[in-house]
Every structure is written in structure tokens, then in C-alpha cells.
């Protein structure tokens, strides 16, 4: 069960990285973003990819919940607030304690995001407009930003756990791997948190210029 978690996590991390690069075009190059979105939506491999990602996400959720329950039973019901990091890594300890919360928030965001932009997929050339309309709602904007923060925390915990589960982490490379995992978590978390704010700002500027 434990080994299945890093496998599904690796698949989802690769998707998040690729999705982040594509989504970033919505701010950096809107025309390229629309071309990319149109090509992606018409790709014959998109549906099999989405099904595979959905299965990976469900498997990751199921294995993580089972692992959380097993750890809770092993601790004898000791609450997370009484845990302390044995490695002297308070940030890693915090992200670990927050993993169920950040994971739950990401799940909520995923449902909302899919409802807005996948289950009612915009027409060709209208992806950015649909995203801007979704972010026009204050509660949706807050959810998107909080999801970016949650992603950063979840990746901070997941990236280090992944390297440890795969046997990559040891005393000789611990500092470098932790720096790399924290940098990845910070860049992706900040990127996804700031992206909706940048899109909302760009929409406001465009509206003011009409």
C-alpha cells in the first residue's frame, strides 16, 4: 500500500507540472494559450489520459486514507498537534500534519474546477474567457488561491516522502533533495496561487479599457 502512494503521487506531480506550464500561458501569452487549449481538446489521446489521471487520483486518495487510518491506529489516537519532527524540520512536520487538510482542499477545488471548465468545456478560443468568468466570483477566486497554497504544502510533504519511499534520501544528499523539493513546492504553489489573481487583474484591466 505504502509503495503505491509514491507511484500515484509521481503521476499526479508530473501532471501538475505540465498543467502549470500550460496554464501559465493564459497570462504570459493568451493567444498561445488558446491555441494550446484548442489543440489539447481535440487530441485523440486526451480522454484516455483524463481517465488514467482520474484513476491515479482516486487510487492516491484511497491509499492515502488507508495509510492515514493505519497511522492513527498505530499512534493510539494521539492527535497530530502532539507530534514533533524527529529530524528537526518544522516546515516538513507542518506540511505532514496539514496533508489531510491540504488534500481535502485540493479535492474540493478539483470538483469545482472540473465543473467550471471540463464538464461544460468551453468552445475553441473561449478557454481563457471561461476561466476569467469563473474567477469573477469572489468565492471561486479565494478557493483557487487557497488551492495553490494547499498544493504547495501538499507537494512539500509529498516530494520529500516520495524521495524517502524510493530510497533516494540519505545523509549525503538530504540537504540537496530537500532544497529541490521545497523549491518545486514553492514555485508550483506560488504559481497556482498567483495565477488566478493575475488573470483576475488582467480581466479587470481589459474591462476598464472597453
Task: Indicate the length of the chain as a whole number.
Answer: 210
What the block records as the C-alpha cell of 49 is 489520459
Q: How far, CA to CA in Å, does 108 sit from each of 15, 83, 183? A: 18, 27, 25
Nearest to 197 by CA among 154, 126, 136: 136
Q: What is the CATH number of the domain that holds 170?
A: 1.20.1300.10
Q: How far from 106 is each of 12, 73, 100, 143, 195, CA to CA, in Å?
A: 12, 25, 10, 9, 16
In which domain, by residue range, is 51 found?
4-208
Give the separation between CA 157 and CA 182, rounded to whole angstroms: 9
Can you give the pLDDT at residue 82?
A: 44
**pLDDT per residue of the chain (210 residues) written in tens, 0 to 9:** 556 777 888 888 889 999 999 999 998 899 999 999 999 989 999 999 999 999 999 988 888 888 778 766 776 555 544 444 445 566 667 777 777 888 889 999 999 998 888 887 888 888 988 888 888 889 999 999 999 999 998 888 777 666 666 666 666 776 777 788 788 888 999 999 999 999 888 764 444 343
pTM above 0.85, yes or no: no
Q: How many domains does the chain have?
A: 1
pLDDT in tens, 27-80: 889 999 999 999 998 999 999 999 999 999 998 888 888 877 876 677 655 554
Amino acid at each position: 500500500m505504502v509503495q503505491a502512494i509514491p507511484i500515484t503521487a509521481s503521476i499526479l506531480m508530473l501532471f501538475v507540472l505540465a498543467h502549470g506550464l500550460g496554464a501559465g500561458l493564459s497570462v504570459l501569452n493568451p493567444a498561445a494559450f488558446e491555441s494550446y487549449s484548442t489543440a489539447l481538446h481535440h487530441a485523440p489521446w486526451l480522454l484516455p489520459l483524463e481517465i488514467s489521471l482520474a484513476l491515479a487520483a482516486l487510487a492516491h486518495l484511497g491509499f492515502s486514507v488507508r495509510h492515514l487510518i493505519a497511522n492513527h491506529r498505530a499512534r493510539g489516537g494521539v492527535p497530530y498537534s502532539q507530534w514533533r519532527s524527529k529530524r528537526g524540520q518544522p516546515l516538513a512536520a507542518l506540511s505532514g500534519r496539514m496533508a489531510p487538510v491540504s488534500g481535502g482542499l485540493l479535492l474540493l477545488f478539483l470538483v469545482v474546477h472540473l465543473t467550471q471548465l471540463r464538464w461544460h468545456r468551453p468552445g475553441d478560443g473561449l478557454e481563457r474567457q471561461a476561466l476569467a468568468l469563473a474567477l469573477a466570483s469572489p468565492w471561486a477566486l479565494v478557493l483557487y488561491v487557497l488551492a495553490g497554497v494547499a498544493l504547495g504544502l501538499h507537494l512539500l510533504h509529498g516530494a520529500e516522502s516520495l524521495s524517502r519511499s524510493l530510497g533516494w534520501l540519505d545523509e549525503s544528499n538530504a540537504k540537496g533533495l530537500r532544497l529541490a523539493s521545497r523549491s518545486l513546492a514553492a514555485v508550483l504553489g506560488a504559481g497556482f496561487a498567483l495565477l488566478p489573481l493575475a488573470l483576475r487583474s488582467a480581466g479587470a484591466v481589459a474591462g476598464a479599457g472597453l
